[in-house]
A and B are shown apart, each in its own frame.
Chain A
């Protein structure tokens, strides 16, 4: 892929705040038209990365291009091609939703009339038409965040940056925002989002970059990430609690090297990481049958991203 096929390229970004190293040699390459998730715990450097890429903060070292323009020398050109929905919801609560969008439209220099029409269009698109002339302070969290998203979409930007778009929202609000982001991505907008919710990255992103302490830990597709760390797990649910000791013994025999079976909190299900899932499954099934043990359930399970994440960041320390 040639360089111009990337909407965001960062080479060795560094940023230090007094004693804190916020970014320490961060690399990114986000292909155009994809959704990229920057995943990491609090303090990992996600917000700092977004602030540098949206021209708000200058990096101490390294270079970056957004929408094909250099951040240092062509910041004005970058600003015409990006949208930012920051960690805080930047909505003016005491003017109406429509007034918010018209104001931003005018500040994007598209002219008064176009700003007004674009506001109406975005209100429809983001499902806010009914609330258009109400003040956002009466809105639900999800609605305010959708208005916030709409405000960053005035110019239909090439690259949209979302910093923890659903933090602090209830489940309904999160779904509303996910749905809108999904629509924007389907329409071809490149999205770079940060999150510490793994299900969010899993659901929205084409690729996920895990970062910690301002450094890249690993980058992969959501599925690849899961496959990469966590071998699959073989799980057996016993029919009789008394069989669990024998089941655990069998699982330990089938385990990937160095791994041991664990029993979950119900005291009925035991599982273990395995390196070849199908082989382990067959072996354990045959053994169970030979020993005459009947089980309630037997199956392979991919690790959740949460498990993967814990494993990855701990491995990087």
Chain B
């Protein structure tokens, strides 16, 4: 019946298993990337909301907002664009959660786990694919920002550091997404996570300085990890300085490094344990 020589790799040494963990992850990444190549409209759907938001803020509300202390509307584009980048990274955990819920719902995780492949590849493959996806997202957003007239004001090194901080936030949120994706019953429920993502993305310094918000809301917004990343990259892009009354905003760069590390430390073990618990 079979003419192909079916000789699976039977070497169970540590070195061989490490090799296959990498190779299998890459196979999963390729599968995910094939999706994106075959359905480029995915980007339009996922970036549509942030783009509409930023256009609304820049051209409708922004003109009334004094973010730079130099008058209403002055420097708002420079303020909002880094916010848009950070918000898109923040919303990214929904894409991860949705994809994980879908692989679970469709029985993919089961088939993968019944196979002799490295079981960690399901998680690492997902993570690498999501970082590649996020990089494409950022590239598209940067092109749009450049068209609208935004320019990074820092050195090349600063600019690269800013994008590294953005991806660092996205990386940490992958494990939040995996945890939530494994937790929800199905992909439909994963779609409802938007109710969680929206305040997480919006109650922040993304579109308005926390100083302009009511006291308690401003404090929450200032301490939001998304705000830290947004604040840090504004400095790196040399956006006009924004007056701030919050300690954490004065230390945005440090916070933008630490916040994702804290999220990672909390959710990486949770997600790994949740994944292992599938066999309970």
- A residues near B (Cβ < 8 Å) are 51, 54-58, 76, 79-80, 82, 84, 86-92, 94-95, 99, 103-104, 106-111, 114, 117-118, 121, 125, 135, 151-152, 154-156, 187
B111 x A114 contact (CB < 8 A): no
Return the contact of B280 from the options A58, A80, A104, A108 (Cβ within 8 A). Answer: A58
B35 on interface, CB distance cutoff 8 Å: yes
B6 on interface, CB distance cutoff 8 Å: yes
Return the contact of B6 from the options A79, A86, A92, A118 (Cβ within 8 A). Answer: A118
Residues of B within 8 A of A82 (CB): 114
Return the contact of B8 from the options A55, A80, A95, A151 (Cβ within 8 A). Answer: A80
B3 x A92 contact (CB < 8 A): no
Decide: A88 near B106, CB < 8 A? Known: A56-B279, A58-B279, A107-B112: yes
Residues of A within 8 A of B10 (CB): 80
When chains A and B are docked, how far (Å) is the Cα of A121 from the Cα of B6? 12
Return the contact of B35 from the options A84, A91, A94, A187 (Cβ within 8 A). Answer: A94
B107 x A55 contact (CB < 8 A): no
- B residues near A (Cβ < 8 Å) are 1-10, 12, 20, 23-24, 27-28, 30-31, 34-35, 38-39, 105-108, 110-117, 121, 278-280
Residues of A within 8 A of B7 (CB): 110-111, 114
Q: Which 9 A-B pairs have the closest CB atoms?
A: A88-B107, A90-B107, A84-B114, A109-B9, A107-B117, A86-B107, A79-B116, A90-B111, A54-B114
B31 x A103 contact (CB < 8 A): yes
A117 x B280 contact (CB < 8 A): no
Residues of B within 8 A of A103 (CB): 27, 30-31
Residues of B within 8 A of A151 (CB): 111
When chains A and B are docked, how far (Å) is the Cα of A94 from the Cα of B20? 25
B38 x A110 contact (CB < 8 A): no
Q: Which of B10, B105, B112, B115 has the most CB of A within 10 A?
A: B115
B20 x A109 contact (CB < 8 A): yes
Least CB separation from B16: chain A residue = A109
Least CB separation from A183: chain B residue = B1
When chains A and B are docked, how far (Å) is the Cα of A87 from the Cα of B114? 14
Decide: A121 near B4, CB < 8 A? Known: A55-B113, A107-B27: yes
B35 x A156 contact (CB < 8 A): no
B110 x A90 contact (CB < 8 A): yes
When chains A and B are docked, how far (Å) is the Cα of A317 from the Cα of B112? 38
Q: A92-B108, A152-B111 are in contact. List 20 more A-B contacts (CB 8 A).
A: A51-B110, A54-B114, A57-B279, A80-B8, A84-B110, A84-B111, A88-B105, A88-B107, A90-B106, A94-B39, A95-B31, A103-B27, A107-B117, A107-B121, A108-B115, A109-B20, A110-B4, A110-B6, A114-B6, A114-B7
B20 x A156 contact (CB < 8 A): no
A110 to chain B, nearest CB (A): 6
B116 x A56 contact (CB < 8 A): no
**Mostly helix, strand, loop or mixed at chain A's interface?**
loop
B2 x A121 contact (CB < 8 A): yes
Residues of A within 8 A of B20 (CB): 109
Residues of A within 8 A of B31 (CB): 92, 95, 99, 103
Residues of A within 8 A of B35 (CB): 92, 94-95
Subset of 18 A-B contacts with CB under 8 Å: A55-B114, A56-B278, A86-B107, A87-B107, A88-B105, A89-B107, A90-B107, A94-B39, A95-B38, A106-B27, A109-B9, A109-B117, A110-B7, A114-B6, A121-B2, A152-B111, A155-B6, A187-B1
Decide: A79 near B3, CB < 8 A? Known: A95-B35, A110-B8: no
Residues of A within 8 A of B280 (CB): 57-58
Residues of B within 8 A of A106 (CB): 23-24, 27
Least CB separation from B1: chain A residue = A187
Residues of A within 8 A of B5 (CB): 114
When chains A and B are docked, how far (Å) is the Cα of A155 from the Cα of B5? 10
Decide: A121 near B38, CB < 8 A? Known: A56-B113, A80-B8, A107-B112: no
A86 x B116 contact (CB < 8 A): no
Return the contact of B116 from the options A54, A88, A92, A108 (Cβ within 8 A). Answer: A108
When chains A and B are docked, how far (Å) is the Cα of A151 from the Cα of B108? 11
When chains A and B are docked, how far (Å) is the Cα of A86 from the Cα of B115? 13
A86 x B3 contact (CB < 8 A): no
Residues of A within 8 A of B34 (CB): 95, 99
Return the contact of A109 from the options B28, B110, B116 (Cβ within 8 A). Answer: B116
Residues of A within 8 A of B110 (CB): 51, 54, 56, 84, 86, 88, 90
When chains A and B are docked, how far (Å) is the Cα of A90 from the Cα of B113? 12
A57 to chain B, nearest CB (A): 5
Return the contact of B115 from the options A79, A111, A121 (Cβ within 8 A). Answer: A79
Residues of B within 8 A of A79 (CB): 114-116
When chains A and B are docked, how far (Å) is the Cα of A92 from the Cα of B117? 18
When chains A and B are docked, how far (Å) is the Cα of A125 from the Cα of B115? 22
Decide: A121 near B3, CB < 8 A? Known: A58-B280, A110-B8: yes
B114 x A56 contact (CB < 8 A): yes
When chains A and B are docked, how far (Å) is the Cα of A55 from the Cα of B27? 22
When chains A and B are docked, how far (Å) is the Cα of A239 from the Cα of B63? 93
